[in-house]
Amino acid sequence: MPRLLPRLPYTRRARRRRMALHLLLLLIILLLVLPGYIIYKPPRFLILYFSRRWPDVLFEVPNLPPSSKLIALTIDDAPSSHTRDILAALADNDATATFFVVGNQVAGREDILREIVLAGHELGNHGGRDEPARSLTVSQLREQIQTVEGYIESAYTSAGVTAGQRAAATGGRTAKKIFRPGSGFFSTKMRELAKEIGYKIVLGGIYPHDAQLGYEWLNTRHVLSLARRGGVVICHDRRSWTVGMLRRVLPELRRRGYKVVGVGEMVRVAEEWERKKVEEADATKIGAGG
């Protein structure tokens, strides 16, 4: 009878091959899933990196005073047939927001823009149409921004809000103008144009992708899981599910101690805090020198 050879080494090799195959499959899955997850739910360090990489673009406002637990709410694609419901949700929760206006949605809804202003909210510029701003030439983008700027100025004027009042609300000598590019992507030429015509590009770091995902519970969990001081939430008008999401999110943010405000107010608080720190440091130096 032939002698049986030991099977242990072969078994070990087979197990190692299976383990290597499993690890390879796991690595492939991670490489496929991880980029999508980072896009869906970007980690804080990535937002901070973007802020340092493009300091002229606002992603969040980290330099708030310790006592200010502010979070900014921004609402794209205004005005629409859902805007008044959004305004009611904000009023019920003592919250303010920045509404980014799309030009081709204004006709026939000028009164809604006026109501936004009268309710104490801020208007921002979102271009002429709901389309990727990067697909436009510089001249096309300039024309769209200037057209929407006219609608915004008319809304403030009809609401009786002067340029001086707007400047005071945002902490500047002149009223700050903010622009959010369609689809959220910007280019060097876009940044140069914004600087030339006196605009600040505003993006954000808390985006539940509600423009594409119409699940109130999912979008609510997304926003609340990323909520932080100085964060900028991006959500969308013109979707029926946004109101339901806000009626879930806003009470919970209040319960956690947050004050929900527009971008301009949060930037004003941060700038005042920075000025105060500089003044205190100067006073300390003078005192030490004396």
Is 268 part of any domain?
Answer: yes
pLDDT at residue 29 greater than cutoff 70: no
Average predicted confidence (pLDDT) for the chain: 91
pLDDT tens digits, 33-88 = 667 767 789 999 999 999 999 999 999 998 999 999 999 999 999 999 999 999 99
Cα dist. 76→1, 180, 181, 205, 207 in Å? 82, 8, 10, 14, 11
Cα dist. 202→15, 207, 231, 250, 283 in Å? 53, 13, 12, 21, 34
Bridge-based pairing of strands 232-236 and 199-202 is unpaired
- Plot region of 39 (φ>0 → left; ψ -120 to 50 → alpha; else → beta): alpha
Collapsing DSSP to helix, strand or coil, 123 comes out as strand
Q: Looking at this protein, which amino acid is placed at residue 88?
A: A
Q: What are phi and psi of 192, to 5 degrees?
A: -65, -40
Q: For residue 65, what are the domain limits?
A: 43-280
Is 36 part of any domain?
Answer: no
pLDDT tens digits, 85-104 = 999 999 999 999 999 999 99
Token pair, residue 236, equals: 């969308």
Collapsing DSSP to helix, strand or coil, 6 comes out as coil
Are the beta carbons of 259 and 233 closer than 8 angstroms?
A: no
Q: Quote the CA–CA distance of 46 and 52 in Å, as a whole number.
A: 10
**Residue where the block lists tokens 């690890």:** 23
**pLDDT in the model for residue 7:** 54
Q: Quote the CA–CA distance of 109 and 79 in Å, as a whole number.
A: 7
Q: Which runs of consecutive H residues, i.e. helices, occur in 4-82?
A: 8-40, 44-53
Q: Quote the CA–CA distance of 142 and 147 in Å, as a whole number.
A: 9
H or E segment and range at residue 261: strand 259-261
CATH code of the domain in which 58 resides: 3.20.20.370
Is 97 part of any domain?
Answer: yes
Is 29 part of any domain?
Answer: no
Is 116 part of any domain?
Answer: yes
**Residue where the block lists tokens 């694609």:** 77
**pLDDT in the model for residue 10:** 60
pTM here? 0.88
Bridge-based pairing of strands 199-202 and 177-179 is parallel
Q: Quote the CA–CA distance of 206 and 67 in Å, as a whole number.
A: 22
Token pair, residue 181, equals: 């590019």
The domain tally of the chain equals 1
Is 112 part of any domain?
Answer: yes
Is 247 part of any domain?
Answer: yes
pLDDT tens digits, 101-122 = 999 999 999 999 999 999 999 9
Residues near 8 by Cβ (< 8 Å), separated by ≥ 6? Answer: none
Residue of 91, 87, 67, 70 whose CA lies nearest to 79: 87
pLDDT tens digits, 204-255 = 999 999 999 999 999 999 999 999 999 999 999 999 999 999 999 999 999 9
Q: Quote the CA–CA distance of 282 and 135 in Å, as a whole number.
A: 48
pLDDT tens digits, 123-182 = 999 999 999 999 999 999 999 999 999 999 999 999 999 988 888 887 777 788 999 999
DSSP state of 206: B
pLDDT at residue 6 greater than cutoff 60: no
Confidence of residue 289 (pLDDT cuts 50, 70, 90): low
